[in-house]
Structure 1
Amino acid sequence: MSDKPDARPSARLSAVTLDDASIGHSSADIDHERATAIWDLIEDNSFAPCGDPGEGPYTLHISLMESRLVLDIKRESGEQVVQHHLSLTPFRKVVKDYFLVCESYYNAIRSASPSQIEAIDMGRRGLHNEGSTLLQERLEGKVDLDFDSARRLFTLICALHWKG
């Protein structure tokens, strides 16, 4: 786990996909949010599987399998690097709280004062940071990624739970 990007330019993701069966059917707005989150992650990330003797860039396929988060990491060539299965249990509370605050935020945009919106947004960002830190901790010794990449990846984990 690091706060600074890996010095190797190849220590990054070049493609990220979400498993269609894991996300199910959703609205066009939710699909757009997911696509934006993927684009943000690909555009700027630091990502390196720990102990990988080879070179990236890497591709990442994210899915849910039996209540576990599956991160399937391959090289751009399709060569398997590693597949990590993480329990979702440690993420449940922060994801639930994050969605509640996001719902409050979107409702507040319509009628609340700017100071109320800002306060809710600060709470939302705090929960996002908490989830990102938890993700970094859960991936320690498995994947080296910086905090900004962990934030973007946490967004995609949340995206698996977005309902249209």
Structure 2
Amino acid sequence: MSDAKATQFLKSVLIDEDSLAAASRDQEQERQVAIFDLLDGNYFEPVESAGGPYDLKLSLVENRLALDITGAAPESGFEERRHLLSLSPFRGVIKDYFMICDSYYSAIRNSSPQQIEALDMGRRGLHNEGSNLLRERLEGKVKTDLDTARRLFTLICALHWRG
């Protein structure tokens, strides 16, 4: 792996507190796990960047997703960038994802293992759909792998819990 490729990752992720609303215990746990897993291993390469690592702040700005990216290493020459993405393409998959997550969390407490497994498969499928949509929307701006996109999609959902 080249030195530039080895530095294409997120060093920190911050979610704007003003963009968040109160979350359930399950939602807060999912958000914390997504951040932990994201920082544990990710691939994040802003287009035309010589290398990172990077700091990322996610927020909502006028009903759009803002990704504020800064280079963590000043010698990389990477200047701060902001990418704004419309949330409209995500609304359907996020709505469906929330519905199946609610069913899944209820099932964990009250249902058979087969029912839980079926709901979990549906939940993972919608999560993958949202992650692939995110990668498409970031095309020409930021390259990620599927695992990184999955964790970022979880954080986008955290911003959307506001309603």
TM-score normalized by the length of structure 1: 0.88
Q: Structure 1's 112 and 7: CA in aligned 2 closer, same or farther, altered over 3 A?
A: farther
Q: CA deviation at 1:111?
A: 1.7
Higher helix share: 2
- Among 2, 20, 23, the alignment partner of 1:23 is 20
Larger CA deviation: 127-136 vs 105-114:
105-114
Q: CA deviation at 1:7?
A: 7.2
Query: Higher relative contact order by CA 8 Å / sep ≥ 6: 1 or 2?
Result: 1
1:138 matched residue in structure 2: 137
Aligned pair count reads 157
CA distance in 2, matches of 1:32, 1:109: 15
1:51 matched residue in structure 2: 48
Which string of whole-angstrom CA distances, capped at 9 and with x for unpartnered residues, describes residues 32-77 of structure 1?
432221111111100010112x320001000001110000000115
CA distance in 2, matches of 1:65, 1:20: 13
Q: Structure 1's 88 and 130: CA in aligned 2 closer, same or farther, altered over 3 A?
A: same
CA RMSD of aligned residues (A): 2.0
Counterpart of 1:8, as a letter, is K
TM-score normalized by the length of structure 2: 0.89
Q: Which runs of 5+ in 2 are unaligned?
A: none
Larger CA deviation: 147-156 vs 20-29:
20-29
**Within 5 A, what are the aligned runs for 1:117-128?**
117-128=116-127
1:67 matched residue in structure 2: 63
Q: Structure 1's 76 and 96: CA in aligned 2 closer, same or farther, altered over 3 A?
A: same
Identical-residue share of aligned pairs (%): 57
2:89 matched residue in structure 1: 90
1:3 matched residue in structure 2: none
Counterpart of 2:159, as a letter, is L
CA distance in 2, matches of 1:14, 1:143: 15
